Structure 1
C-alpha cells in the first residue's frame, strides 16, 4: 500500500495546522449520531503516553471542528485494552455490535491494533490507528477500513537509523520488546542500518512489559556496538535507559538510540539521565507558535505538555469528521476511509 500519509509523518508540524482549519460544509448533517471509541492503555506502562488524555483530545477535536454547529451529533467514549489483544477485541466487539460505535481511534500496542484492524474490516467500520507503530498496518495487514496516522516503524527507522549511521554509528545491538511492535521496529531499523552500510552485531528480546534489563544491557555492553537500539516504548524504554545509566553505558562510549521516544519519557527520565539519547519526534509542542498555543490549552486542562500521539488523535478525529461531513454519511467505513485519503490533510 502506498504511504499516502507520508506528509503527516515527515512534516508533522503541518498536521496540527491543517487540523485547526474547520471544514467547509454548510449543510446540516442528517446521518444520525456518530460514535467514536478511543481505545488504549489507561492503566499500564503506556497510560502516560495516551490514556485518558487521548479521550480528552478526541472531545476537543469534536468541539474545535464545530460539530454541533454543523448539526452533527458526535459521542466520544473511552476504553482500556490493558495491552492485551483478547481484551482489546472484547471491548471492540462490544462497541461495534452493542454500542454501535462507528470508529475506533488510537490503540497503542501493535498486537492489539492488528487484532482491531481485522475486526474493523469484518464489520466495515473505521480504525483511526494513531498509537500503534507497526508498519504492517500499511504492509501485509493493510486494510481499506484503516488509516495509519502520525508515525510508524518505517518512519522511525528511517528517521533515527539512517541519521545515526551517517554520523558514524555504524555498529548496532538491538534491545527489543518481545511482541509485534518490537519485532517490526527491529526489522525496519535493521534494514535501514544495513542498507546505509552499517552492521548489526547482535540482538536480544526482553519480556513485555519488562522491569529488569540488567542482563540484556550487559550483553549489549559486551558487544561493543557503537549504538544500542531500543526497540521498545513507554515504561520499558524508561526503565532500560535508567538502568543503562546505572551501568555507565553512555559514559563508556556507547550511545542509546531511542527508536520510539515520547516527550513524557524525557520528563520521566530527567535531562541528566536522558543526555546522549538520540531519537525521532514527528511533532513537538515547542516547535512553533501554533504548536505552543495548542499545547497551552492542553496544559491548562491536564497539567502537562502533549506528546505526538494525543495530538495525532486530535488530528485524526478532525479529519475523520471532515470526511463524514463531505460524504453526508458515516455508515460505510470503507467509503469514509477512501474520502479521508481523498481530502487534503
Structure 2
C-alpha cells in the first residue's frame, strides 16, 4: 500500500464519526460497494462540505437500506487539499483500487481534475462541492452529474436581481482560481445582460486573510455593488472586513455570490443582515427539510448547508440507479440517473439533463436581522423562487459536446 493510500484511509476514517467500515465487512463476505469522497478537510471549504458531506452520505445509505445489490456499502473520505494534482492522484488511485463512484471535489479546480480522471476511468462522478459551470459546459463528461448549484445559477440569481434593483455598477473581488474565474465570468455576463456595467476587478489568492487592499480598490472604483466571487472563509473574511471598514454604511452593497448557512453562523446574523444570495436548499424550508436537518445536526452540532443536502441527494440517486440497472457499470448507471427523476426530502421530480446538470429549483434568500429571528438558526427569508428554466444556463449555450445540435 502506498504512503498516499495509507494517509487517505487513516484520514478518511478519522474524519467520519458515523463510519464503521471494519464492522460492515465483518457482517458480509460480499465485496463492498465503495463511495469515495474527495473533500476539503482543513481548508476554506471544510465547514461548507468536509466531514459534513460524509455524514450526509451515510444518512443517504441508511435511508436506502444500508446495502445495494446484496452488498454492503463503504464510504471513504480524503483531503484533496483543494489542489488539482492531489485530487487527480487520489481519484486515480482509488479507482484503480476498486472505488465504485467518486463524489464531492471541494474546489472547482480539484473538481475539474477529478472529472478528467473519472472520464478516463469510466467512473461516475457525483459533483457537489465544485461550482464552476464548466463541469457541464465545455469540460462536461458522460459520467459527471452536477448537483446543488453552479456559477451560472448563482450569478444570474443574485447578480441579475441586484442589477435590476438599481445596483447597476459593479466591481469584483475574485478568488484567483477556476471557481472564482467562472463565477466572475458568469456574474459579469448577468450584470451586463441586466443593463449594468463592470468598473473593474481584482484577484485574491485562495486562503487570503487580509482583504483590506482589495476592498480599498473596490471602494475607489465608485461601484454601487462589490461582487464577492469567492466562498468559504475567504468570503467570510471579506464580508467581516467590509463591515469593519463601514463600506455598507457608506451606501455600497455587497453581492455575496456564494455564501452558505455556515458562513452566516460563523460571522453572526447581525454582520450578514441584509445580504442576498442564491441557493437550492435552506434547512428551514419545509417539514421534510427540518426533519432531515435535525438528523444531520445530531452528528455535527449545527445546521446543514446546500453541499450537505446535495451529498445526500447525489448518493441516494446514484444508489437508486445502481439498484435499477443491477450493476455499478458507469455507462448504464449514468443513463439510468438521467432517466430517473430526482426525488428526496428537498427535490420533487427534478430532471437531469444530458450535459449532467441537475435542474433544481433555485431560491433567492435574504439574511434577516437578528431582531426578526424566531428561534435558533432562523437566518433567512425567501425573496423569490427561480424556476429551473430561468435558473440554469440554456442547454445549447454551454458548449458541452454531449449535447446534440
Tell me if TM exceeds 0.5.
yes
Matched with 2:96 is: 97
1:63-74 matched pairs, under 5 angstroms? 63-68=62-67, 71-74=70-73
For the pair 1:337 / 2:337, whether they are aligned, the reply is no
User: How far apart are residue 67 of structure 1 and its match?
Assistant: 3.7
The 1-side partners of 2:313 and 2:71 are apart by 18
**Cα shift readout 1:143-197 (whole Å, capped 9, x = no counterpart):** 0010001110011011101111111111111000000000000000100110110
Which stretch of structure 1 is more off in the superposition, 173-182 or 266-275?
266-275
TM-score by length of 1: 0.89
What residue in structure 2 maps to residue 37 of structure 1? 36
Find the aligned partners of 2:149 and 2:127 in 1 and give their Cα distance. 10
SS state of the match for residue 42, structure 1? coil
Instruction: Work out the CA distance in 1 between the residues paired with 2:332 and 2:155.
Output: 31
Instruction: State the distance in 1 between where 2:71 and 2:56 align.
Output: 18
Aligned to 1:144: 142
Q: Is the 8 A contact 1:159 1:280 kept in 2?
A: yes
**1:113-192 counterparts in 2 under 5 A?**
113-192=111-190
Contact in 2 for aligned 1:230/1:259 (Cα 8 Å): yes
For the 8 Å contact 1:157–1:188, the answer to whether it is kept is: yes
Structure 2 matches for 1:317-332, cutoff 5 A? Answer: 317-330=315-328, 332=329
User: Given the alignment, which residue of 292, 296, 299 partners 1:298?
Assistant: 296
Identify which of 301, 306, 310 aligns with 1:308: 306
User: In structure 1, what is the Cα distance between the partners aligned to 2:331 and 2:166?
Assistant: 45
Asked whether the 8 Å contact 1:255–1:276 carries over to 2, the reply is no
Structure 1: any 5+ residue segments left out of the alignment?
Answer: 1-30
Tell me, what secondary structure is at the counterpart of 2:235?
helix
Classify 1:40/1:289 alpha carbon distance in 2 versus 1 (closer, same or farther; 3 Å).
same
Q: Which of 202, 219, 222 pairs up with 1:221?
A: 219
CA distance in 1: counterparts of 2:215 and 2:57, whole angstroms: 38
1:170-319 residue pairs with structure 2 within 5 A? Answer: 170-319=168-317
C-alpha distance in structure 1 between counterparts of 2:202 and 2:69, whole Å: 53
Cα distance in 2 for partners of 1:299, 1:32 equals: 31
Q: What is the alpha-carbon distance in structure 1 between the residues aligned to residue 341 and residue 88 of structure 2?
A: 31
Distance 2:332 2:148 in 1: 21
Deviation at 1:70, TM superposition (A): 6.3
Secondary structure (helix, strand or coil) at the match of 1:210 reads coil
Instruction: Look up the SS of the partner of 2:279 in the other structure.
Output: coil
| SS of residue matched to 1:238 | helix
Task: Give the drift of 1:34.
Answer: 1.6
Task: Give the unaligned 5+ runs of structure 2.
Answer: 1-29, 343-405
Deviates more, 1:257-266 or 1:81-90: 81-90
Q: Distance in 1 between matches of 2:200 and 2:99?
A: 45
1:300 Cα shift? Answer: 1.6
Contact 2:55 2:299 in 1 (8 A): no
Q: Which has the higher contact order (CA 8 A, sep 6+)?
A: 1
Q: Deviations over 1:64-112 (max 9, x none)?
A: 01143862421111111011111111211121112x1011111110000
Distance 1:343 1:69 in 2: 17
Moved over 4 A (4+): none
Q: Is the 8 A contact 1:250 1:276 kept in 2?
A: no
After TM superposition, the score normalised by the length of structure 2 is 0.76
Task: For 1:299 and 1:136, locate their aligned partners in 2 and report how far apart those are by CA, in whole Å.
Answer: 32
- Structure 1: distance between partners of 2:67 and 2:244: 53
Structure 1 residue 281 displacement after superposition: 2.0
